[in-house]
Amino acid sequence: MPELPEVRTVVAILNNEVIGKKIKNVEIIYERIVQNDLNFFKDELKDQSIIKVEALGKFIIFHLTNNLILISHLRMEGKYSLLNKDEKNPPHSCVIFYFYDNTKLVYHDTRKFGIMELKTTYNYLTSKPLSNLGPEPFKIDENNIENIYKKITKNKPIKELLMDQSIICGIGNIYADEILFKAKINPLTKGKDISFEKFKEIVSISKSTLTKAINLGGSTIKSYHPKDGIDGKFQNELVCYGHYGKPCPNCGTLFHKIFLNGRGTTFCPNCQINYELKKAVGITGIIGSGKSECLEIFNELGFKTLSCDKIIKNLYENNDELKQKINKLFFYKALDKNKNKLNYSIMRQFISQDEILHENLENLVFPFVEDVLINEIKNSNYTLIIEVPLLFKAHLQYLFKKIIYVESNKETILERLKLRGSKNPLADYELYLKNNNFKISDNVIILKNNSDLNSLKEQIIKISKDL
């Protein structure tokens, strides 16, 4: 922070406040902000007037008399405040420009990462730092888009490339997350895997997103404000950035957060598919449909198989973090602290009486299961066949190149539940049917399991030939 929209907002404020003001003298409190010799900086600016202020990407450019250019970068938290000469300076003031009209422009910066450098109109665009900048998204058109596209076709994640100011300037962490979400591109997708048509879409989305953000005064996030007492409003429009753990508005999958090149990166794994990860096959269906039988047949055929039921059991027994969270969810009554074991009978008693608690337990467990599955899939050189009973409810379909949905008629399922010893087969059936969340799509294979084991095996052998 701030990024292009926030810088444009600051520039608009400065143009309204400081145009025509003549500098009487400059006070440098924090010397590292200024990139020039300090005496040169102060002497050259004395008696110069501000003609106009412009933005280029994340840079603020002051045009002054005598062909002088002051380049400023706010970095994380830099701010400008116009005050009367006798007003108290804000905390963390770094550089103060005193004007002849008894006002002053104070640059203050909590982290003190910002920079200022004095140039001239003759060299400011042809020397660093501005000479290294690529064009703003608004300056990308049919005349230069192919050259920009060549620069992103690298073996680096597309988010990292979008934030590379030497390729495109002005996009930072916030807007990169928003742009990639709207484009339905996983942030880890390599630039070399982005088609030219998809890149044109990225550019178009960048322009529309940044335009809307500029019109709303940018985003006020955490401690950033374009000016004291003034907030941007685009943070209310953010769909992806900062929404880790919340449901995606498109599909309901919880937003994930990873760290990419040290920057927090939020994305929807279901809308923004990582195709390098999508290589397993999932088996799902309601209770009593025969999912476990299918998994066993795949295992007999030589496939490597995993059961989410076994994964959950292992997590319940061995993952201390999950056990503590479950214990808290169950009012600190689910964990035998002496043995560090979960009391399943107490848990069943609670959830049988509280449907919301049952759902909260599932939502608590899903991310832990998801992490295990991601790790298993990433590290497997083979096609994994994974039984995931609540695959669609957990929004895990993004992990699977194919999903086998095992389907049985009601009578068959009720009979199987009776044989398992269910006390109320119909209630169990209706509960699992309610939580099924099944969604048909191109990668879903319907497997009918209403007959004998041989018929099921024949179907699976046929399906396995295409996996």
Q: Mind giving me the DSSP string for 73-142?
A: E-TTTEEEEEEETTSPPPTTEEEEEEETTSEEEEEEESS---EEEEEETTTTTTSTTGGG----GGG--T
- Annotated catalytic, 198? no
Active-site option among 8, 21, 42, 58? 58
In this structure, is the dihedral angle defined by the CA atoms of residues 188, 190, 191 and 193, taken in order, positive or negative?
negative
List of residues 6+ apart from 393 with CB closer than 8 A? 362, 435, 436, 437
Query: 3-class SS at 448?
Result: strand
Q: How far apart are CA 206 and CA 167, in angstroms?
A: 14
Do residues 136 and 169 make contact, with C-beta atoms less than 8 angstroms apart? Answer: yes
Query: How many of the other CB atoms lie within 10 Å of CB of 282?
Result: 26
- Annotated catalytic, 58? yes
Q: Tell me the Ramachandran region of residue 387: left when phi exceeds 0, alpha when psi lies from -120 to 50, beta otherwise.
A: beta
Closest C-alpha among 138, 139, 134, 136 to residue 150: 134
Active-site option among 263, 304, 325, 448? 263
- Annotated catalytic, 111? no
Burial 368-402 (b: 16+ CB within 10 A, else e): bbbebbbebbeeeeebbbbbbbbbbbbbbbbbbeb
Closest C-alpha among 426, 384, 389, 415 to residue 401: 384
Q: Half-sphere exposure of 268 toward its Cβ, with a 13 Å CA cutoff?
A: 24
Do residues 175 and 3 make contact, with C-beta atoms less than 8 angstroms apart? Answer: yes
- Annotated catalytic, 263? yes
- The separation between CA 104 and the C-alpha centre of its own chain, rounded to angstroms, equals 40
Closest C-alpha among 294, 230, 224, 237 to residue 467: 294
Residue position matching structure tokens 């600051």? 10
Q: Which helix (H) or strand (E) holds 62?
A: strand 59-64
In this structure, is the dihedral angle defined by the CA atoms of residues 275, 277, 283 and 284, taken in order, positive or negative?
negative
Active-site option among 2, 137, 187, 389? 2
Q: How far apart are CA 266 and CA 176, in angstroms?
A: 10
Q: Which helix (H) or strand (E) holds 336?
A: strand 335-336
Q: Half-sphere exposure of 103 toward its Cβ, with a 13 Å CA cutoff?
A: 12
Tokens for 363, please give them.
Answer: 């939502």
User: Any idea which residues carry the catalytic annotation?
Assistant: 2-3, 58, 263
